[in-house]
Structure 1
């Protein structure tokens, strides 16, 4: 086997649907085409963008920003427990408000 073989990829909208981050494929396409999803820091506006293992995606979902690392590419839309193994949730970095202090006045 050649060492230069390309890494396996999957369409972004199909990944979101298989990972159960969107209820329908059209909802997954809307997330992708809304211009608010970032994949490895790049803004994505197309549903057919390729996803690879190790990529990090960030997007708003139900009022919360989700940041996920892709751990595996799915072969089917399985049960929720199987879907959760496809990604690892990452915590967003939080910045403290300017007027917040550690000591009481």
Structure 2
């Protein structure tokens, strides 16, 4: 194996490269964008894409609507397969919320205009705020 592909025990690597290498994001561009947006923290501090990450560092990542908390156990510089990637960090993430807890809010079509009185009553009824149907 080439040394760049195998997990390394010592040294450091850019945080955006490491996040991409261990498959926490699909692309390196997504990893760098998450860093620039402030969704990545290393040891509790906001991380820029070029910040170095070392073994033992705690990396917090907000990606795809989920918080990930991982501790770096091995440094990798190039993207590796999923089984190898799983060995490169210890996942301390909270469990994902149940599906019914993440209820999506209905969105009106753009340009649909103001809802009519009847539409507003239906929306209130769906939210459980208005009276039930007239009998």
Q: TM-score, normalised by structure 1?
A: 0.74
Quickly say closer, same or farther: Cα 1:87–1:42, change in 2 above 3 A.
same
Contact 2:39 2:63 (C-alpha < 8 Å) held by counterparts = no
RMSD, matched Cα: 1.4
Output the CA distance in 1 between the equivalents of 2:93 and 2:78.
Answer: 27
Number of residue pairs aligned between Structure 1 and Structure 2: 85
Counterpart of 2:44? 41
Q: Residues 59-92 of structure 1: CA distance to partner in whole angstroms, max 9, x if unpaired?
A: 2122111000000001431111111111001144
Specify every segment of 5 or more residues in structure 1 that has no aligned partner in the other structure, as ranges: 1-6, 93-105
In the alignment, is residue 66 of structure 1 matched against residue 65 of structure 2?
no
Rg: which structure is higher? 2
SS at match of 1:66: strand
Q: TM-score, normalised by structure 2?
A: 0.59
More helix by share: 2
Specify every segment of 5 or more residues in structure 2 that has no aligned partner in the other structure, as ranges: 1-9, 95-135
